[in-house]
Chains A and B, each alone.
Chain A
Amino acid sequence: MQNKQIFARDIRRIILDQSKRANVGHIGSALSIADIIAALYGNVLRIESPKDPDRDRFVLSKGHAALAVYAALFLKGWLTEEDINTYCVDGSLLGVHPEHALNGIDFSTGSLGQGLPMAAGAALAASLENSSRRVFVLVSDAECNEGSMWEAVMFAAHHKLSNLIAIIDLNGQQAIGYTDEVLKLSPMEKRWQAFDWDVHAVDGHDIAEITETIAGLRTAQDQPHVLIARTTFGKGVSYMENQIKWHYWPMSDPEYQQALAEIGVNTA
């Protein structure tokens, strides 16, 4: 399973199918990170098994996009089809936000601003154990509103946690507005540089660029790393792209059919 290619289109398909079946939202947020998740689980993360203590860790700090991760865990073979079909079903471990009790989830998230502190702790643990494992944490841009983010940003830089790689899903949207209008975050690159992180701007929908950028990081010394991944909220589904509504909205039947067609799934 380790080398099984994960296709972003498969992730998107699962996001749409499961969101439609469960009649829940957060679709746009999950589509925003589909390519980042594809790069991580397809090419980057070194995980022989989700129980291996020396595996790379992954924290989805923007927990509301967990469906994209469930899709990857399914495509890796760590969740069964039966498992993923319980998304948002009574009694399931697969909720809108991820729970560590689920195989393949390292940390429970869903409260913004908590993932980076936990990831920094996980990176410090690896450092104390002289392990070469790395810790990846995917945060949202609006999550940078949280003060605790910057507490962890300072800690990681001070302790030179170069085994810590943050990825910012810079889609410019938050729950009920656009980030530029709610609380200005730009210039994001300069902010992280000022806190002494190693900053890389990437196209968050270019799997090859994400993969190659991470492969080139010096994870054994100096600074923690951040990929500022420019993304489109709702990427791949035209009527969702850059639309606030699709942070929470579920799809109607026609919207679902259109979405499938637009991501290239033949439903005929």
Chain B
Amino acid sequence: MRGAFTKTITELAERDPRVLLLTADLGYMALEPFSDKFPDRFFNVGVAEQNMIGLATGLAEAGFIPFVYSIITFAGLRPYEFIRNGPVLHQSPVRIIGVGGGFEYGAAGSTHHGLEDVGVMRIQPGLTVIAPADHEQTRTAIEKTWDLPQPIFFRLGKDDKTVVPGLNGRFELGRAQTIREGGDILLITMGSVVTEAVAAARILVDFGISSTIMVVASFNPAPVDDLAEALSRFPAAMTVEAHYIVGGIGSLVSEVIAEQGLACKIARCGVRVSPNGIVGSQSYMHQVHGLSGKSLVDTARLLLGEAGEQDISAPLSDVLLPSLDSGK
């Protein structure tokens, strides 16, 4: 998604001189297509995320469209109050690019795990929040929103290869995308962990369970109507997110169920405890937190009242993820 981001905004910058790119000293081997082409519109502001957001607020007031880039915790959490009082309060067209949602930087350690960004961003009125599931959706999302007059927060991943089957790069603000149709259980998911949900749906077929999978990339505005329509058709749904279970997609779906008075039981699959210093690959961290395809299958079967094996220790991703990566 990083590559798609840089490629897309480089193309936009050719059309619109208002587009600028700021980074807080990250993006090696990712931002060069832009910085090489537009060196006068690229600013490495140094390791100074608060100032970066302030600068972007000042630039946007004059009419520029600044994209600011860093790893998601540094881009979103360190300068959170600057985002609140800057782009959000001024309703100015700053684009905050946070790379590494969930456990994309799993081995880098807890400081690099993006586990609360959607929660803290989607509560800000007037801040569009977008969490694409793959690089094709990233491109569409940027192309469809790049000149909105209001601020946007993007939760991006590093992966520019994996394609979510059935998504086909679709994105629309305030809508969810259905990538698989089935009648027994509804899986609602976001970001790069969508591939785990897809893996789970494939295994569930062997148990005679067919799944619908909805991808939510637009969090603000949230796809309330799409979610309500789908949730009204299922007695049980699972939310799947590489995010704390409070604040993200599990919370969003709970809000929709409660506000619409729907009779749908949900299981929220996400991060329930602090990683507590444990590091590992993205797939390993998914296993640890019950987000591997196999773990999701167990949770789905428990939710549907079937006997499920609670084995979340097997390194399932080694088996499944490469086949998903090469599948499309």
Please, how many angstroms separate the alpha-carbon atoms of A107 and B53 in the complex?
14
The reply to whether B58 and A151 form a contact with Cβ atoms under 8 Å apart is no
Q: Which residues of B contact A113 (CB under 8 A)?
A: 50
The reply to whether B45 and A107 form a contact with Cβ atoms under 8 Å apart is no
The reply to whether A111 and B81 form a contact with Cβ atoms under 8 Å apart is yes
The reply to whether A114 and B86 form a contact with Cβ atoms under 8 Å apart is yes
The count of residues in chain B whose C-beta lies closer than 8 Å to any C-beta of chain A is: 28
- Nearest residue (CB) in A for B89 is A108
> A-contacting residues of B (Cβ < 8 Å)?
20, 40-41, 43, 45-46, 48, 50-51, 53-64, 66, 81-82, 85-86, 89-90
Q: Which of these, A108, A116, A124, contacts B85 with CB under 8 Å? A: A108
Q: Which of A36-44, A125-133, A220-228, A254-262 contacts B (4 or more CB under 8 A)?
A: A125-133
For the A-B complex with A121-B56, A155-B51 known, give 7 more contacts whose Cβ atoms are closer than 8 Å: A108-B90, A117-B54, A119-B58, A120-B55, A121-B66, A128-B64, A152-B55
Least distance between A77 CB and chain B CB atoms (Å): 23
Q: Which of these, A106, A110, A111, A159, contacts B61 with CB under 8 Å? A: A106
Given contacts A100-B89, A111-B85, A114-B85, contact A155 B55 (CB under 8 A): yes
Q: Which of these, B54, B60, B64, contacts A114 with CB under 8 Å? A: B54
Q: Which residues of B contact A107 (CB under 8 A)?
A: 57-58, 61, 90
Least distance between A227 CB and chain B CB atoms (Å): 20
Q: Which residues of A contact B89 (CB under 8 A)?
A: 100, 108
Q: Which residues of A contact B53 (CB under 8 A)?
A: 117
- Nearest residue (CB) in A for B17 is A128
Q: Which residues of B contact A53 (CB under 8 A)?
A: 62-63
Please, how many angstroms separate the alpha-carbon atoms of A57 and B60 in the complex?
13
Q: Which of A157-191 contact B (CB under 8 A)?
A: 158-159
Given contacts A111-B85, A155-B45, contact A121 B54 (CB under 8 A): yes
- Nearest residue (CB) in A for B48 is A151
Least distance between B69 CB and chain A CB atoms (Å): 16
- Nearest residue (CB) in A for B90 is A100
The reply to whether A121 and B81 form a contact with Cβ atoms under 8 Å apart is no
Q: Which residues of A contact B46 (CB under 8 A)?
A: 151, 154-155, 158
- Nearest residue (CB) in A for B45 is A155
Q: Which of A114, A117, A124, A135 has the most CB of B within 10 A?
A: A117
Q: Which of A132-149 contact B (CB under 8 A)?
A: 135, 147-148
Least distance between B166 CB and chain A CB atoms (Å): 42
Q: Which residues of B contact A147 (CB under 8 A)?
A: 50
A-B pair count, CB < 8 Å, reads 98
Q: Which of B50, B51, B53, B59 has the most CB of A within 10 A?
A: B51
Does A122 interact with chain B (Cβ within 8 Å)? yes
Least distance between A96 CB and chain B CB atoms (Å): 15
Least distance between B196 CB and chain A CB atoms (Å): 38
Q: Which residues of A contact B20 (CB under 8 A)?
A: 128
Q: Which residues of A contact B45 (CB under 8 A)?
A: 155
- Nearest residue (CB) in A for B53 is A117
Q: Which of A30-74 contact B (CB under 8 A)?
A: 53, 57
The reply to whether A121 and B82 form a contact with Cβ atoms under 8 Å apart is no
Q: Which residues of A contact B66 (CB under 8 A)?
A: 121
Q: Which residues of B contact A121 (CB under 8 A)?
A: 54-61, 66
Q: Which residues of A contact B50 (CB under 8 A)?
A: 113-114, 117, 147-148, 151
Please, how many angstroms separate the alpha-carbon atoms of A53 and B57 in the complex?
15
Does A118 interact with chain B (Cβ within 8 Å)? yes
- Nearest residue (CB) in B for A117 is B54
Please, how many angstroms separate the alpha-carbon atoms of A107 and B59 in the complex?
12
Least distance between A152 CB and chain B CB atoms (Å): 5
Given contacts A107-B61, A122-B61, A155-B48, contact A117 B55 (CB under 8 A): yes
Does A123 interact with chain B (Cβ within 8 Å)? yes
Q: Which residues of A contact B54 (CB under 8 A)?
A: 114, 116-118, 120-121, 148, 152
Please, how many angstroms separate the alpha-carbon atoms of A108 and B88 in the complex?
11
The reply to whether B48 and A154 form a contact with Cβ atoms under 8 Å apart is yes
The reply to whether A124 and B82 form a contact with Cβ atoms under 8 Å apart is no
Q: List 11 A-B contacts (CB under 8 A).
A: A100-B89, A117-B54, A117-B57, A121-B58, A121-B60, A122-B59, A124-B58, A151-B48, A151-B50, A158-B46, A159-B43
The reply to whether A148 and B82 form a contact with Cβ atoms under 8 Å apart is yes
Q: Which residues of B contact A126 (CB under 8 A)?
A: 62
The reply to whether A118 and B64 form a contact with Cβ atoms under 8 Å apart is no
Q: Which of B55, B63, B81 has the most CB of A within 10 A?
A: B55
Least distance between A61 CB and chain B CB atoms (Å): 10
Given contacts A108-B89, A108-B90, A155-B46, contact A120 B62 (CB under 8 A): no
Mask, A84-122, CB within 8 Å of B = 1, is 000000000000000010000011111101101111111
Please, how many angstroms separate the alpha-carbon atoms of A100 and B87 in the complex?
12
Please, how many angstroms separate the alpha-carbon atoms of A122 and B89 in the complex?
16
